[in-house]
Chain A
Amino acid sequence: ARQVVRPKEKMTTSEEVKPWLRTVYGSQKELVTPTVIAGVTFSEKPEETPNPLKPWVSLEHDGRPKTIKPEINKGRTKKGRPDYSTYFKTVSSHTYSYEELKAHNMGPNEVFVEEEYIDEDDTYVSLNPIVRCTPNLYFNKGLAKDIRSEPFCTPYENSRWKVDKTYFVTWYTRFFTDENSGKVADKVRVHLSYVKENPVEKGNYKR
């Protein structure tokens, strides 16, 4: 005898992702449509009042998203949003002569080179809630773990991707800089290819 199982009614939410309007590059109006991928909402409308403890999305080693909730502990923010340092900034050098600066500790023939970091255009980057890949998030790969994983941050080598699940492949965008033009590639595409498995490695995974 078995008791009748009544499947629970699925809870639905009235909170739908609706398009929203924003102004970019000064006066250009733009409609933004949020999209939900693997539970992560992209292009979400920013809150009216910025919340420093707003959860952000990190990635597991295999590329699955995980939400991180920042905490304030003893006056310090822990697990806060990632700081990208200067990885996405562009360096601009300015050369100043003595005549321009007239610094008292500068020789008349000396020149001063000042490096200025220019922030990237975050018009579209700001709509991404997932942590971006930077070289400090690279891992080591290979049998001896002595090869840097550039340009990838996720997935880690020998991760196991399961059917019907969604994983995020992340790479450092500035890795793809054309040597001839010095410009970062504006378009890329991702390939998945079969690899012949080493017979020694085959079937070693404990199911």
Chain B
Amino acid sequence: DIPATFFSSEWIDNDNGLMPVEVRDEWLQDQFDRRIVVSVQPIYISDEDFDPLQYGILLYITKGSKVFKPTKEQLALDDAGITNDQWYYVALSIPTVVVVFFVFMYFFLYVNGKNRDFTDVTRKALNKKRRVLGKFSEMKKFKNMKNHKYTELPSYKKTSKQN
């Protein structure tokens, strides 16, 4: 009944004033660490009147540091031939599939080499290159362009002094 409370012990004797708590993984709710408050409720205070934050102690629960190093047990299992190498097969299968695909592709193209006919495609491409552009004045883009007709450039008259 106390809000946000995820663990409540049984009513225990208040003789020694201590209680062991073993931290469980599910308390973390898939997080690395969580901030919690520890509180003690005496029997004369009802759940409704009890405030965990009044005298509570704030602390963290955490997964702790993990060292990714094979343990002695893991090494012993490896030596016995009991391994968990599924990831290894997955990692190998992807490049294998790609290599097989390219080998198949090579042979397919090799076998069907004589039956291929791309002449229509190549002809079309070559015809595009040989296209005749036509007259400049008839081009749509430059049709309305006012271009002066060629006239003879003015000749320079030499003065007598220049001679």
Residues of A within 8 A of B (CB): 2, 4-7, 37-38, 62-63, 124-125, 128, 130, 132-133, 141, 149-152, 155-173, 176, 178, 180-181, 184-197, 201, 205, 207
Contacts and interface: CB of A to CB of B under 8 A. Distances in A.
Nearest to B62: A160
Given A141-B57, A189-B9, A189-B41, A184 B17 contact: no
A180 B44 CA distance: 10
A207 B57 contact: no
A124 B14 CA distance: 11
Nearest to B64: A162
B36 A195 contact: yes
B109 interface: no
A77 B35 CA distance: 41
Interface in B60-102: 60-65, 72-73, 75-76, 79
Interface in B11-59: 11-25, 27-28, 32-44, 52-53, 55-59
B79 A5 contact: yes
Contacts of B39: 190-191, 193
Nearest to A178: B44
Given A5-B75, A195-B4, 12 more contacts: A6-B76, A7-B72, A63-B21, A133-B17, A152-B55, A160-B62, A163-B61, A164-B24, A167-B21, A170-B17, A189-B10, A191-B9
Contacts of B9: 189-191
Contacts of B156: none
Main DSSP-derived SS at the A contact region: loop
Given A190-B9, A191-B39, A192-B27, A185 B44 contact: yes
A132 B16 contact: yes
A125 B15 CA distance: 6
B3 interface: yes
A194 B4 contact: yes
A42 to B, nearest CB: 9
B14 A167 contact: no
Interface residues on B, range: 35 or more
B59 A193 contact: no
Contacts of A162: 23, 61-64
Given A157-B59, A164-B22, A189 B17 contact: no
A124 B17 CA distance: 12
Nearest to B24: A163
A133 to B, nearest CB: 5
Contacts of A150: 55
Contact of B2 (A130, A184, A188, A193): A193
B108 interface: no
A10 to B, nearest CB: 12
B6 interface: yes
A67 to B, nearest CB: 16
B15 to A, nearest CB: 5
Contacts of A160: 33, 59-62
B162 interface: no
Given A5-B79, A159-B59, A185-B42, A193 B5 contact: yes
Contacts of B43: 185-188
A207 B62 CA distance: 10
Contacts of A191: 2, 5, 7-9, 38-41, 52
B14 A5 contact: no
A184 B14 contact: yes
